[in-house]
A and B are shown apart, each in its own frame.
Chain A
Amino acid sequence: MADALKKDEILGLASVLASLDYYQVLKVDRKAVLNDVKKAFFRESQVLHPDKFFASSDVELKGAVMTIYKRIAEAYAVLRDPEMRAKYDAQIAAGADASKRLEKREAPTGGNVPAADPKAKNSQAQKYLQLGLMALRKGDFSGAEMNLQFALKFEPGNDGIAKKLAEAKEKAKAKGDTKDPYKI
């Protein structure tokens, strides 16, 4: 059975946690085999599992324990899984500045609410606005630019149309299709 840690040791550990990699968190060697990783996890759990402090009234201590234990559990989850461990080892090898936690890929969110489409009061403006928005969605940025310009002529003060026009211009430029309508 591991010895109980004193409060200042626990607070100290919590304060340096961000600089420790998973191996350091579990106090195991880089070459540690699965069984060593498991033993280390059990050993650290015995000392630092939040349930060991459940009835304590020391909020600061409990907070530090929670922070540390979450990292211990994470380290264990990664190091016991050969695939994740290989990824993590590669991440550490790639650079000293790399995050000490396993990096995860990005993903686009779902259930999204895109910015509402602008509306025009003038019926002619609305007609060209719709054509412009449709072109924008299709990726026909120069077409969108033209239609939005017409829409803005029928309703000059409309901010929403102006913004969409600016967007279409920017995108057309980025795409490199600033077609000169007069060029043959």
Chain B
Amino acid sequence: MAEKVIGVDLGTSFSCVSVVIDGNPVVIPDKDGNLTTPSVVAFGAENQRLVGWKAKRQMVYNPANTVSSSKRLIGRKFFSQEVKKAREIMPYQIVEGPHSDVRIRVQSQDYSLPEIGSFVLSKMKQIAEDYLGETVRRAVITVPAYFNDSQRQATKDAGEIAGLEVLRIINEPTAAALSYGYGRDLDKKIVIYDFGGGTFDVSVLDIIGDVFEVVSTAGDTYLGGDDIDQRIAGYFAQKFQEAYKTNPLENKLALQKLIESSENAKIQLSMQDEVSVMIPEFSKDANGTMRPLNGTLTTTKLADLIYDLIQKTFKVCDEALQEARMTAGDIDEVIMVGGPTKLPLIRQAVQQYFQRLPQTDVDPDLVVAMGAAIQAAALAESGVDEQPEGTEPSQAGDTTDIKRNPLIKDPGAAAKPSSLLIDVTPLSLGIETVGGFTERLIERNSPVPTDQSRIFTTSADNQVQVKIRVYQGESKKAAENDLLGEFQLDGLRAAPRGDVKIEVTFELDANGILHVTAKDLETNKQQVIRIAASSGLTRDEVAKMKQNAARGVTT
């Protein structure tokens, strides 16, 4: 049997691993039977690391050495708004790295975000290996659909540091769609409403049989369940402040306790209409006396607190439908992904928006990993079906035929469902033109792989060299998009502006990696660069971190 390829949902709050066995995606439990693992890493003495449940349990007592929700920071620049926001609310120390990237400082040691991600991935790899009883070397990992190139590359680096060959990075909502439609021979237009721990994505898909076409995708990479927790925490903090005239959020331990209680309150409101929150030794009042926190939260109050967040998600839905040239009425099915979608108030709002009951058959916490496993199997098994006639793919296990489950009709032959995923690029790609504008070569929601060329001219007289700056994003102003890379083409003929023509070609491969070529059409001289999106780390650093990671102790 071919080596298994795992599918990993590397989530903001929780991660999950799955593998396809005999054509069925199976979610792999850890030794305690848990199907998901907290994406939390804690550091103890002597390079000891805690990952998952053990790390989450000690979080309240060890906030400065416990890293959670790190996915919100991966692939981001230190000076970005998102990082600034995180520095205000995260209990751990966030510092600037050597490439204006982000590092997390724990016990005077700096860790890059791909390293933190790799600790979680190593844990998921371990869980799979324990279950399968074999070494796992390859994986498909999911990311929010709206992740840009740097965030994708950083996630890939995390896989590499963890010792995994990442066959493909796929989008979370797409994975959920695969999992929903796999083996069901559907003919439907579906929407995936993916409200995760830290990100929100919407994808519109057209499924016919085993072909899954992503028609459009839109999202917000800084909107998620964490924001709901913070709103609840803010509400209780305000109540406390009114009573005791001091802001409890200035105390990191109190903040950590409050965030945890808020998260629990949110989860309970998925099942009941009212919840009481009680933290015995919460924070000191203005006179230094320790005071408890006592309060209740109702569904109605929560609806009030997060109304604008929910409205924000529908703006994204509008965008995705518009891009797909569809209206809510064209959609046959709405599938909910992510923990917060278990909240009845979110389900009701979604039902109202799409005018139909959202699908509840699928487990919002597990579908993404299962979809990743389905894609992993599809890739691993591709191109090997060219069996010469008459030669059965004989395997050692063939003699066990008699024991086969009688419910599986045609063992071996066509029993396994197949799947083909046609994905799109979530963000437009282009270059900067005169005046600081962006000229798009590849429009967002173009099916990949794809290539596009465009003729550019010089913009100044006697311009003998031209700088090609490659941007990703939707803004007309280049500076408001993400700069992916730049290079120079020189030796152009000195001539009046507009005379010299340069052909620029963008090629986006199935892995979403961009190759850019610029060619002087007079001399045929050309420059090719592979836009190795900067994850914030150099290749050497990744290799070094991989070695270090192998040495560390994880429990």
> Does A28 touch B at the CB level, under 8 Å?
no
Q: Which of B415-455 contact A (CB under 8 A)?
A: 420-422, 431-437, 439, 446-455
Which residues of B have CB within 8 Å of A108?
433-434, 456-459, 497-498
Interface mask (A50-81 → B, CB under 8 Å = 1, otherwise 0): 11111111100000001001100110110000
Instruction: Judge whether A54 and B211 touch: CB under 8 Å.
Output: no
> Does B488 touch A at the CB level, under 8 Å?
yes
A129 to B211, CA, bound (A): 67
Instruction: Judge whether B382 and A51 touch: CB under 8 Å.
Output: yes
A5 CB to closest chain B CB, in angstroms? Answer: 11
> Does B62 touch A at the CB level, under 8 Å?
no
Instruction: Judge whether B433 and A109 touch: CB under 8 Å.
Output: yes
> Does B297 touch A at the CB level, under 8 Å?
no
Which residues of A have CB within 8 Å of B380?
54-55
A49 to B502, CA, bound (A): 31
A45 to B448, CA, bound (A): 11
Task: Indicate whether A115 sits within 8 Å of B463 (C-beta atoms), given known contacts A42-B211, A108-B458.
Answer: yes
A46 to B486, CA, bound (A): 36
A4 to B488, CA, bound (A): 44
B279 CB to closest chain A CB, in angstroms? Answer: 51
Which residues of A have CB within 8 Å of B496?
171
Task: Indicate whether A109 sits within 8 Å of B422 (C-beta atoms), given known contacts A50-B449, A56-B382, A56-B384.
Answer: no
A53 CB to closest chain B CB, in angstroms? Answer: 5
Q: Which of B13-21, B150-158, B464-472, B541-549 contacts A (4 or more CB under 8 A)?
A: B464-472
A81 to B436, CA, bound (A): 28
A111 to B478, CA, bound (A): 10
Number of chain B residues close to chain A: CB under 8 A: 63
> Does B529 touch A at the CB level, under 8 Å?
no
Number of chain A residues close to chain B: CB under 8 A: 39
Instruction: Judge whether B382 and A54 touch: CB under 8 Å.
Output: yes
> Does A110 touch B at the CB level, under 8 Å?
yes
List the A residue with the shortest CB-CB distance to B380.
A55
Which residues of B have CB within 8 Å of A76?
447
A-B contact count (CB 8 A): 143
List the B residue with the shortest CB-CB distance to A58.
B383
Interface mask (B404-423 → A, CB under 8 Å = 1, otherwise 0): 00000000000000001110
Instruction: Judge whether B449 and A109 touch: CB under 8 Å.
Output: no
Instruction: Judge whether B420 and A51 touch: CB under 8 Å.
Output: yes
List the A residue with the shortest CB-CB distance to B464.
A115
Instruction: Judge whether B450 and A74 touch: CB under 8 Å.
Output: yes
> Does A155 touch B at the CB level, under 8 Å?
no
> Does A113 touch B at the CB level, under 8 Å?
yes
A41 to B381, CA, bound (A): 23
A72 CB to closest chain B CB, in angstroms? Answer: 9
A74 to B508, CA, bound (A): 12
Instruction: Judge whether A46 and B463 touch: CB under 8 Å.
Output: no
B452 CB to closest chain A CB, in angstroms? Answer: 8
A173 to B437, CA, bound (A): 33
Which residues of B have CB within 8 Å of A77?
446-447, 450
Interface mask (A99-120 → B, CB under 8 Å = 1, otherwise 0): 0000010111111111100000
Instruction: Judge whether A73 and B447 touch: CB under 8 Å.
Output: yes
Instruction: Judge whether B458 and A55 touch: CB under 8 Å.
Output: no
Q: Which of A78-98 contact B (CB under 8 A)?
A: none
> Does A167 touch B at the CB level, under 8 Å?
yes
Instruction: Judge whether B501 and A106 touch: CB under 8 Å.
Output: yes
- Among candidates A51, A52, A111, residue contacting B486 with C-beta atoms closer than 8 Å: A111
A58 to B382, CA, bound (A): 12
Which residues of A have CB within 8 Å of B230?
none
A14 CB to closest chain B CB, in angstroms? Answer: 14
A167 to B493, CA, bound (A): 13
A81 CB to closest chain B CB, in angstroms? Answer: 9
> Does B480 touch A at the CB level, under 8 Å?
no
List the A residue with the shortest CB-CB distance to B423.
A51
Which residues of A have CB within 8 Å of B326?
none
Task: Indicate whether A106 sits within 8 Å of B459 (C-beta atoms), given known contacts A46-B211, A52-B382, A70-B451.
Answer: no
Q: Which of B383, B454, B458, B502 has the most CB of A within 10 A?
A: B383
> Does A38 touch B at the CB level, under 8 Å?
yes
A57 to B167, CA, bound (A): 15
A104 to B441, CA, bound (A): 9
Interface mask (A108-137 → B, CB under 8 Å = 1, otherwise 0): 111111110000000000000000000000
Instruction: Judge whether B494 and A111 touch: CB under 8 Å.
Output: no
> Does B460 touch A at the CB level, under 8 Å?
yes
List the B residue with the shortest CB-CB distance to A43.
B211
Instruction: Judge whether A110 and B446 touch: CB under 8 Å.
Output: no
- Among candidates B206, B208, B433, B510, residue contacting A110 with C-beta atoms closer than 8 Å: B433
Which residues of B have CB within 8 Å of A73?
446-450
A57 to B458, CA, bound (A): 43
Instruction: Judge whether A110 and B437 touch: CB under 8 Å.
Output: yes
Instruction: Judge whether A109 and B466 touch: CB under 8 Å.
Output: yes
Which residues of B have CB within 8 Å of A171?
496
Which residues of A have CB within 8 Å of B465?
113, 115
List the B residue with the shortest CB-CB distance to A77.
B446
Instruction: Judge whether A70 and B463 touch: CB under 8 Å.
Output: no
Which residues of A have CB within 8 Å of B382?
51-56
Which residues of A have CB within 8 Å of B306?
none
Which residues of A have CB within 8 Å of B455?
104, 106-107
Instruction: Judge whether A66 and B213 touch: CB under 8 Å.
Output: no
Which residues of B have CB within 8 Å of A70?
449-451, 507
A53 to B458, CA, bound (A): 41
B168 CB to closest chain A CB, in angstroms? Answer: 9
> Does B346 touch A at the CB level, under 8 Å?
no
Instruction: Judge whether A114 and B449 touch: CB under 8 Å.
Output: no
A76 to B463, CA, bound (A): 38
Instruction: Judge whether B457 and A106 touch: CB under 8 Å.
Output: yes
> Does B24 touch A at the CB level, under 8 Å?
no
Which residues of B have CB within 8 Å of A46?
210-211, 420
A112 to B488, CA, bound (A): 9
B72 CB to closest chain A CB, in angstroms? Answer: 30
Q: Which of A39, A46, A53, A109 has the most CB of B within 10 A?
A: A109
Which residues of A have CB within 8 Å of B422?
45, 49
Instruction: Judge whether A110 and B463 touch: CB under 8 Å.
Output: no
Which residues of B have CB within 8 Å of A167?
461-462
Known: A51-B420, A56-B382, A106-B455. 5 other contacts (CB 8 A): A45-B422, A109-B457, A109-B458, A110-B478, A112-B460
Q: Mind listing 22 A-B residue pairs with CB under 8 Å? A: A39-B208, A45-B422, A46-B211, A54-B167, A55-B384, A56-B384, A66-B509, A70-B449, A73-B447, A73-B449, A77-B450, A104-B453, A106-B455, A107-B455, A108-B456, A108-B457, A108-B459, A109-B502, A111-B468, A112-B460, A113-B463, A114-B462
Q: Which 4 pairs of residues, A with B, have the shortest CB-CB distance?
A: A56-B383, A108-B459, A110-B432, A114-B460
